[in-house]
């Protein structure tokens, strides 16, 4: 697979792998741990070098799973993880925390769970209004000097935060939701990233499955599936938002591809420093996603998708109220 460079030299596969869904958020977790390890190792065999996890996924268990799966190929992959949440004595998430001591504690925990000596890309998961971003970036800078971290990233950060952090220590990548049904980053975020030389790592590039056409108005979400709590996934919103799926399907038919491949190829065609991280629990879906890297999308194809999607007003917020409060504006 083609490689892309994020920031000042972090080389990753054009399509990465978001590992969160193997431990939370999309209904009952897989019962077969060996099967999930097989999917992750299968991704490496197919050219994926970029894997995304976080301490809060689980919490904690996703890092253990990713670390075990990638240990035999550690030298071939880039491992990204995140800090920024507080936990109680029983490991339950209680809020945000990016105080320097919390960052150091989180990094030591992640290194232990992943079984690695240095984190390739360390993100602040959510901006903590209680801790100046200069203190956060300064702490990560010290961790880089200590050899515990190689590159610094932010997640769901606004342009002011990005600029202030980057002034203290180079930001290699911003992780943010970006897809054909969430194009808000194009207004302010993407121009600032281009100016500063920061890569963009879109999560939920397939709209949490919606853009694939696998989720319709009549879909019933299982217990534990976060989509059941998101306004954009109410039956009424899904019915209204079907227009986006119809658009992607139509273009996919023209290109002889699947909707998932078109949605990912559109992102890849937008900028050479964008590396989306779709997630899956199945090898066949992984292979479908990776086929997007070989889909020849012309400037005219991109323009068609841009123009048509810009005319569609997507219904419903992308987060519930509690999660919405954690987004940096």
Query: Which active-site residues does the annotation give?
Result: 57
DSSP summary character for residue 30: P
- Euclidean distance between CA atoms 40 and 252, whole angstroms: 27
Q: Is the dihedral of CA 41, 8, 152, 326 positive or negative?
A: negative
* Token duo for residue 152: 């610094």
Cα 154 to Cα 22, 162, 315: the distances in Å are 22, 8, 27
Cis peptide before 76 (omega within 30 of 0): no
Number of residues that this document lists for the chain: 329
Residue 114 region by backbone torsions, left for phi larger than 0, else alpha for psi between -120 and 50, else beta: alpha
Residues 6+ apart with CB under 8 A from 169: 137, 138, 140, 141, 144, 152
E strand spans, 34-117: 50-52, 78-83, 85-87, 93-96
Residue 128's CB: how many other CB atoms inside 10 A? 24
């Amino acid at each position: 697979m083609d490689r892309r460079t994020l920031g000042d030299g972090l080389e990753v596969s054009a399509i990465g792998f978001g590992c969160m869904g193997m431990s939370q958020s999309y209904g009952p977790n897989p019962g077969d741990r060996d099967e999930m390890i097989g999917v992750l190792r299968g991704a490496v065999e197919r050219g994926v070098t970029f894997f995304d996890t976080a301490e809060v996924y689980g919490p904690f268990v996703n890092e253990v799973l990713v670390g075990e799966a990638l240990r035999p190929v550690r030298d071939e992959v880039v491992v990204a993880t995140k800090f920024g949440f507080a936990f109680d004595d029983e490991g339950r998430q209680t809020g945000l925390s990016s105080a320097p001591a919390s960052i150091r504690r989180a990094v030591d925990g992640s290194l232990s769970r992943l079984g690695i000596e240095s984190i390739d890309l360390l993100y602040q998961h959510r901006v903590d209004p209680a801790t100046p971003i200069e203190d956060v970036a300064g702490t990560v800078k010290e961790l880089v000097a200590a050899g515990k971290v190689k590159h610094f990233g932010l997640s769901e950060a606004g342009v002011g935060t990005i600029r202030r952090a980057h002034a203290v220590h180079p930001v290699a990548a911003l992780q943010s939701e970006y897809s054909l049904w969430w194009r808000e980053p194009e207004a302010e975020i993407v121009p600032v990233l281009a100016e500063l030389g920061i890569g963009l790592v879109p999560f939920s590039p397939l709209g949490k499955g919606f853009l694939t056409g696998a989720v319709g108005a009549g879909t019933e979400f299982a217990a534990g599936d976060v989509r059941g709590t998101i306004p954009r996934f109410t039956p009424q919103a899904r019915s209204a938002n079907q227009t986006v799926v119809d658009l992607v399907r139509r273009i996919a038919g023209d290109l002889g591809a699947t909707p998932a491949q078109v949605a990912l190829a559109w992102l890849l065609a937008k900028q050479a420093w964008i590396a989306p991280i779709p997630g899956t629990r199945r090898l066949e879906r992984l292979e479908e996603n990776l086929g997007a890297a070989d889909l020849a999308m012309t400037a005219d194809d991109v323009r068609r998708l841009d123009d048509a999607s810009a005319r569609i007003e997507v219904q419903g917020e992308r987060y519930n109220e509690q999660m919405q409060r954690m987004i940096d504006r």
